[in-house]
Structure 1
Amino acid sequence: MNLPKFLLGDNTDHQDAIFVIHTDFPRFIINLVDDEIEWFEDFQGEDQEELENEVASLIEQATAFYDREMERYQSE
């Protein structure tokens, strides 16, 4: 199966949350309401440094994905 890079997540237990799931490495879920990130990977040493360099870009990409999806829903 070919997964999209980002998915929207919804959970009625967290009604105020806006979850975006990043399915590529490094895999994570971000709550766009408070920018809290849950990583699915364990990072150590060099990986940690590389991750820190990528985080800002990944958050921007996740936010852009969400904005694009919301525009599509509103135009339907």
Structure 2
Amino acid sequence: MTVPKFLLGDHSEHEDAIFVIHTEFPRFIIDLTKDQIEWFEEFDKQDEAELATETENAIKEATAFYDAEIAKYEDG
């Protein structure tokens, strides 16, 4: 099975949340409504500078993925 880089997530107890799951390293879930990230990886202190850059890029990529997916529904 090939797993896409990004997946949309949904949960009935978090009706207003917009979850995007990033399946490649560094793996995380982001709630785009709050810009909150939950990482599935452990990071060392040495990784903090790189993590800051990765976080910024990850938010941009996740947001672009979500926007593209929603546009498909709206255009469909």
TM above 0.5, yes or no, is: yes
Displacement over 4 Å in runs of 4+: none
- The Cα shift of 1:48 comes to 2.5
Residue 37 of structure 2 is matched in structure 1 by: 37
- 1:1-43 per-residue CA deviation (whole Å, 9 max, x = no partner) reads 2211100000111000000000000000000001011000010
Please list every run of 5 or more consecutive structure 1 residues that lacks an aligned counterpart in the other structure: none
Residue 7 of structure 1 is matched in structure 2 by: 7
Q: How far, CA to CA, are the matches of 1:24 and 1:48 in structure 2?
A: 18
The two structures have a TM-score, normalised by structure 1, of: 0.94
Residue 26 of structure 1 is matched in structure 2 by: 26
Q: How far, CA to CA, are the matches of 1:36 and 1:49 in structure 2?
A: 18
CA RMSD of superposed structures (Å): 0.9
Residue 53 of structure 1 is matched in structure 2 by: 53
2:13 match: secondary structure: helix
Q: Percent identity?
A: 58
Q: How far, CA to CA, are the matches of 2:25 and 2:49 in structure 1?
A: 15
Amino acid aligned to 1:39: W
The two structures have a TM-score, normalised by structure 2, of: 0.94
